[in-house]
């Protein structure tokens, strides 16, 4: 595997801005029929957690990253955007990042095709790096495959109140963690880490992704819409069964019948209160916390200097969910 130690380097501090600029340029540099949509997307920037994990993983102990890491981080954010655009079609979600979702603004048809376009844009960007990092293409394709599988499993288990903890973990390992693992894998690979370390850091990324999704699933039960910038009790209303609910159902199986059918907003709010009272949310947070601990151990063992510091900081932000 070739590494990027001979590329021009830039400081970790500030590299996120370079990623955002690359991303903005990619979204600006599109044919006219897409300009409305990409301009619209640019307005609602996310927190770029996946890009940050990639950059931090690619950093040396002194806190500088190879130029390729910026391209790769922009590509992973494009991939993330593509899945968000399609997710909003799949989830019929009208709000995303505090604003009307792309599909509610431009329609389902345009959103399906535009998501495909973003996928391609991501693959094109990867092709630029792939000249030197041959495996990257396969890696991206494999990660996206896992994401699709996770989402399909989730769709297949819609309103399935018999969903087991194990099945649930498998779903989120695909739909969320695969991209976190890809981010850290790519970063470590670009840094030139040995294969075993690359794999271990990818595993740390997987754990962070699991924690991220578990906390996300808790937020659906306990926050109001304004804080989270998206509708709450959405999962429940849409029939998406997550860990807080699975754990609550185990305590009070008679809820199954209610949850199995469509819920009014009032009913959803009532079930949410019960899920919290039955300890479903707190116990889910405990599980998330254990994933964070596992990730911390791997990062502490495998990294040093500025890289360790940044990765641990990102992990803490996941834990308390500023992101």
Q: For residues 55 and 74, which CB has a smaller minimum distance to a copy of itself in the complex? A: 74
- Residues at the interface with a copy of itself (CB under 8 A): 31, 33-34, 86, 89-91, 107-110, 112-117, 119-121, 123-124, 126-127, 130-131, 134, 137-138, 140-142, 144-145, 147-149, 151-153, 155-156
The least distance separating a copy of itself from the CB of residue 13, rounded to whole angstroms, comes to: 32
Compute the distance between CA of residue 285 and CA of residue 275 in angstroms, rounded to an integer.
13
For residue 26, what are its two tokens? 């990619």
The least distance separating a copy of itself from the CB of residue 306, rounded to whole angstroms, comes to: 33
Q: For residues 92 and 194, which CB has a smaller minimum distance to a copy of itself in the complex? A: 92
Q: Mark 140-159 as b/e (b = at least 16 C-beta within 10 Å).
A: beebbebbebbbebbeebee
The least distance separating a copy of itself from the CB of residue 176, rounded to whole angstroms, comes to: 14
Q: Answer whether 177's CB lies under 8 Å from 213's CB.
A: yes
The least distance separating a copy of itself from the CB of residue 193, rounded to whole angstroms, comes to: 22
Q: For residues 152 and 312, which CB has a smaller minimum distance to a copy of itself in the complex? A: 152
Asked whether the CA dihedral 23, 26, 28, 30 is positive or negative, the reply is negative
Compute the distance between CA of residue 71 and CA of residue 69 in angstroms, rounded to an integer.
5
Compute the distance between CA of residue 300 and CA of residue 286 in angstroms, rounded to an integer.
21
Distance of CA 3 to the CA centre of its chain: 26
State the residue for tokens 């470590």: 188
Compute the distance between CA of residue 236 and CA of residue 271 in angstroms, rounded to an integer.
9
Q: For residues 33 and 98, which CB has a smaller minimum distance to a copy of itself in the complex? A: 33
> What are the phi and psi torsion angles at 63 (to 5°)?
85, 30
The least distance separating a copy of itself from the CB of residue 167, rounded to whole angstroms, comes to: 11
Q: For residues 150 and 280, which CB has a smaller minimum distance to a copy of itself in the complex? A: 150
The least distance separating a copy of itself from the CB of residue 151, rounded to whole angstroms, comes to: 5
Q: For residues 131 and 266, which CB has a smaller minimum distance to a copy of itself in the complex? A: 131
* Closest C-alpha to 211, from 109, 120, 136, 320: 320
Q: For residues 146 and 294, which CB has a smaller minimum distance to a copy of itself in the complex? A: 146
Q: For residues 143 and 247, which CB has a smaller minimum distance to a copy of itself in the complex? A: 143
Helices (H), the chain: 15-28, 32-43, 49-58, 67-90, 102-106, 108-130, 136-156, 165-172, 178-191, 195-222, 225-228, 234-238, 243-251, 255-260, 265-277, 280-302, 305-320
The least distance separating a copy of itself from the CB of residue 144, rounded to whole angstroms, comes to: 5
The least distance separating a copy of itself from the CB of residue 17, rounded to whole angstroms, comes to: 26
């Amino acid at each position: 595997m070739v590494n990027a130690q001979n590329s021009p380097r830039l400081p970790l501090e500030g590299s996120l801005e370079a990623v955002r600029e690359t991303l903005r340029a990619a979204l600006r540099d599109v044919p006219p029929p897409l300009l409305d949509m990409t301009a619209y997307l640019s307005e609602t920037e996310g927190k770029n957690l996946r890009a940050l994990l990639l950059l931090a993983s690619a950093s040396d102990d002194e806190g500088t990253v190879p130029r390729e890491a910026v391209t790769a981080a922009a590509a992973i954010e494009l991939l993330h955007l593509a899945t968000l655009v399609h997710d909003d079609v799949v989830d019929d979600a009208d709000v995303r990042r505090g604003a009307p979702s792309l599909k509610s603004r431009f329609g389902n048809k345009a959103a399906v095709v535009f998501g495909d376009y973003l996928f391609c844009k991501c693959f094109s960007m990867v092709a630029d790096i792939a000249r030197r990092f041959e495996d990257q293409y396969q890696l991206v394709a494999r990660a996206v495959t896992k994401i699709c599988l996770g989402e399909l499993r989730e769709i297949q288990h819609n309103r399935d109140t018999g969903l087991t903890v194990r099945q649930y973990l498998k779903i989120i390992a695909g739909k969320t963690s695969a991209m976190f693992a890809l981010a850290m894998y790519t970063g470590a690979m670009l840094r030139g880490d040995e294969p075993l370390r690359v794999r271990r850091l990818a595993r740390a990324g997987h754990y962070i992704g699991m924690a991220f999704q578990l906390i996300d699933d808790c937020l659906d039960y306990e926050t109001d819409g304004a804080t989270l910038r998206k509708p709450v009790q959405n999962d429940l209303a849409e029939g998406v069964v997550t860990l807080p609910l699975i754990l609550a159902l185990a305590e009070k199986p008679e809820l199954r019948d209610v949850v199995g059918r469509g819920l009014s907003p009032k009913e959803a709010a009532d079930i949410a209160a019960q899920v919290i009272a039955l300890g479903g949310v707190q116990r889910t947070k405990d599980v998330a916390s254990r994933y964070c601990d596992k990730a911390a151990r791997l990062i502490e063992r495998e990294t040093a200097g500025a890289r360790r510091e940044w990765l641990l900081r990102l992990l803490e932000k996941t834990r308390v969910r500023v992101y």
